[in-house]
């Protein structure tokens, strides 16, 4: 190969790299920690990798775990982290909530356009009971930070009204009576079984576990159990959901006044990955059933169920 040919090849390669570099997306600009701090109403810190974090230590309620006081730094801190991406700012966080704070905090998250991605405990033998609600979102950093602030403000309003966490949801207590199973079946659109005064509706779903097809009898099921009477019943149960179905189901349950008490996975190695929401509600049996029917409809609209 002549010197001229070699130089021509090198020049061509250089130009190709330069064109590719010019077409590549520009790296995200650094986040403005001051704007996030102002929107959230708390100081923000910047990590070495550029992630901006805000936090709120739960010093307002003394918590004991296994009889020992738990300092907030040992795991009682609410936080949110923000990272710039080519698609916008990503936010994820973990919020410390007591039982009577979960529904107000979740409602505030949804009102702010955030997602709720998990709800579970971290401790055993804790007093009062502590739960952790994980949230997330994408978009404008200040809007996301303001959304986190609205969640924290909702929690603070609960504690301002009642310094110690409540021991119950309030309202009447369902008493053993008659529940019209056929009326519930008609509303929800599925059959039921009755035992010991409990009307239970189970809706199976198929998936795979480690390459083996499994269904409702192996635990892949949505179900609801009604106790009490037609006038005042309680309902508890499970929704099985794929990832895209989670937010519509949660929102539908909360819009109907049913409390979300857990959100997590049950299996490892399932295809598609399934998530489960556990819930509890009280009220006229037919109204509870209509809320569940709306949640099922929202799930179907999201592509499954």
Mean pLDDT of 101-107: 98
Which residues, listed in sequence order, are joined to residue 270 by a DSSP beta bridge?
A: 209
Q: Is 267 in contact with 274 (CB distance < 8 Å)?
A: yes
The answer to which of 87-96, 156-165, 205-214, 293-302 has the lowest mean pLDDT is 205-214
Nearest by Cα to 156 from 42, 273, 6? 42
Q: Rounded to 5 degrees, what are φ and ψ at 150? A: -65, -35
Instruction: Give every strand in the sheet of 270-271, ordered side by side.
Output: 212-214, 207-209, 270-271
Q: What is the pLDDT of residue 7?
A: 44
Residue 298's alpha-carbon distances to 250, 254, 265, 294, in angstroms, are 10, 13, 20, 6
pLDDT over 90 percentage in the chain: 88
Q: Is 166 in contact with 101 (CB distance < 8 Å)?
A: no
Q: Which has more pLDDT, 16 or 181? A: 181
How would residue 303 be classed by pLDDT, with cut points 50, 70 and 90? Answer: confident
Mean pLDDT of 152-158: 98
Nearest by Cα to 115 from 142, 145, 82, 137? 137
Q: Is 179 in contact with 225 (CB distance < 8 Å)?
A: no
Cα 43 to Cα 218: distance, rounded to the nearest angstrom: 48
Q: Is 242 in contact with 101 (CB distance < 8 Å)?
A: no
Cα 53 to Cα 44: distance, rounded to the nearest angstrom: 6
Q: Which two tokens mark 273? A: 């990955």
Q: Is 201 in contact with 223 (CB distance < 8 Å)?
A: yes
Mean pLDDT of 184-209: 96
143, pLDDT greater than 70: yes
Mean pLDDT of 284-288: 98
The residue count for the chain = 305
Q: What is the pLDDT of residue 30?
A: 82
Cα 153 to Cα 160: distance, rounded to the nearest angstrom: 10
16, pLDDT greater than 90: no
- Average model confidence (pLDDT) across the chain: 92
Number of neighbouring beta carbons within 10 Å of residue 266? 12
H-helix segments, the chain: 3-23, 33-40, 102-111, 141-161, 181-188, 243-255, 285-301
Cα 285 to Cα 282: distance, rounded to the nearest angstrom: 8
């Amino acid at each position: 190969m002549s010197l001229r040919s070699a130089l021509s090849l090198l020049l061509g390669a250089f130009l190709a790299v330069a064109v590719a570099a010019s077409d590549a997306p520009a790296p995200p600009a650094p986040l403005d920690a001051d704007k996030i701090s102002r929107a959230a109403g708390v100081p923000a810190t910047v990590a070495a990798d550029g992630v901006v974090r805000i936090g709120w230590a739960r010093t307002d309620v003394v918590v004991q775990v296994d009889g020992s006081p738990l300092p907030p730094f040992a795991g009682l801190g609410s936080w949110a982290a923000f990272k710039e991406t080519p698609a916008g700012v990503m936010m994820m966080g973990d919020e410390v909530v007591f039982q009577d704070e979960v529904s107000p905090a979740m409602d505030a998250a949804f009102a702010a356009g955030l997602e709720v991605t998990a709800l579970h405990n971290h401790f055993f033998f804790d007093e009062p009971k502590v739960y952790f609600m994980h949230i997330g979102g994408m978009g404008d950093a200040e809007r996301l930070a303001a959304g986190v602030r609205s969640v924290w403000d909702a929690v603070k309003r609960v504690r301002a009204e009642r310094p110690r966490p409540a021991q119950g949801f309030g309202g009447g207590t369902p008493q053993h009576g008659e529940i019209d199973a056929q009326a519930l079946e008609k509303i929800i659109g599925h059959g039921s079984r009755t035992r010991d005064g409990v009307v239970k509706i189970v809706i199976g779903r198929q998936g795979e576990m480690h390459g083996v097809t499994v269904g409702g009898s192996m635990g892949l099921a949505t179900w609801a159990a009604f106790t009490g009477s037609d006038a005042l019943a309680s309902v508890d149960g499970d929704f099985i959901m794929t990832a895209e179905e989670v937010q519509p189901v949660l929102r539908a349950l909360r819009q109907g006044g049913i409390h979300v008490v857990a959100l997590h996975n049950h299996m490892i190695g399932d295809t598609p990955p399934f998530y489960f929401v556990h819930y509890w509600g009280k009220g006229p049996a037919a109204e509870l059933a209509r809320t569940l029917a709306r949640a099922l409809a929202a799930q179907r609209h999201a592509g499954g169920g």
